[in-house]
Homo-oligomer: A and B are copies of this chain.
């Protein structure tokens, strides 16, 4: 069935069960608030630009949209209060697609005790999902990009490159014939069902580090390091051996480190904090969380191993990794 057949009233009836009770149906949603600061972020996904029927089911579009926004909250050290969903739809959109989208959104949000609290549906020539997420944070634990100082440990909350690998597998059925099925499934899941690191926010709030800078790695690990360094006026020395290369990645590309540094959409956090705190946090998180280097006074970003130093922060490198 297409949405032009059920009308706006039918559409709203369909969507209400996916919204937090008591929040929709008035001019705006009212939510109780206990933090000191409101944190707000907006992200828009457009059909054939940010997703496609080939790689992303409606449920995955919903899940990924929710994660992208919750990850931005996590990157500020904030816990979520709710999201609004602005949905642009052509009249011939399948009703099932919309229901699946909301199922995906709700599925992701439920894991973090939050949900949809409002939105707007409008006619458009292209399917568009505009999400605004808002959360709360105490002033003492806001994570800003510009708060890094030289000599801080740089850490990641998990592995990188898996989402890129999943996307490439979905785009090219001939890729990765020699990949073992478990790796394949893990890569595709990393792309379709990424997880925001709100669990890490809770840990940081408990640890109360002297300072913490950071952002999420939605645009890639190297991009995150570069943006933190630029905003904070520091450089970085990254130990190549400390960077985890997901098993199986070598079966997909000759340059796995490129995918790890530049792949994007892994939605991990990249953090700079005092070494002892970073060690404690890495232990708490477990898995592939790791200290990968340290911030420096000189503004370059260097990737070092036993024998070589590679300068990473040139514009051409960005273009290369950002493909």
| CB atoms of A132 and B42 under 8 A apart | yes
| CB atoms of A31 and B40 under 8 A apart | yes
| CB atoms of A29 and B33 under 8 A apart | no
Closest to A142 in B: B30
Task: Give residues of chain A (14-40) contacting chain B, Cβ–Cβ below 8 Å.
Answer: 25-33, 35-40
| CB atoms of A86 and B130 under 8 A apart | yes
Closest to A215 in B: B27
| CB atoms of B42 and A84 under 8 A apart | yes
Contact of A125 among B28, B32, B126, B135 (CB under 8 A): B126
| CB atoms of A120 and B44 under 8 A apart | yes
User: What are the residues of chain B within 8 A of A43 when measuring CB–CB?
Assistant: 120
A132 to chain B minimum Cβ distance, whole angstroms, is 4
| Dominant secondary structure of chain A at its interface with chain B | strand
User: What are the residues of chain B within 8 A of A44 when measuring CB–CB?
Assistant: 86, 88, 120, 122, 130
Contact of A26 among B28, B84, B145 (CB under 8 A): B145
Query: Known interface pairs A82-B40, A84-B42, A88-B128. Does A137 touch B75 (Cβ–Cβ under 8 Å)?
Result: no
Closest to A133 in B: B28
Residue A81 is within 8 A (CB to CB) of chain B in the complex = yes
Closest to A82 in B: B40
Closest to A31 in B: B38
User: What are the residues of chain B within 8 A of A50 when measuring CB–CB?
Assistant: 122
A26 to B33, CA, bound (A): 22
The 6 closest A-B pairs by CB, nearest first: A28-B41, A27-B75, A132-B132, A42-B84, A130-B130, A27-B72
14 chain-A/chain-B pairs, Cβ below 8 angstroms: A26-B75, A26-B231, A28-B76, A31-B37, A31-B40, A33-B33, A40-B132, A41-B84, A43-B120, A46-B124, A50-B122, A120-B130, A124-B126, A130-B130
New A-B contacts (6) at CB < 8 Å, excluding given A124-B124, A132-B132: A27-B145, A31-B39, A44-B122, A49-B124, A124-B126, A125-B125
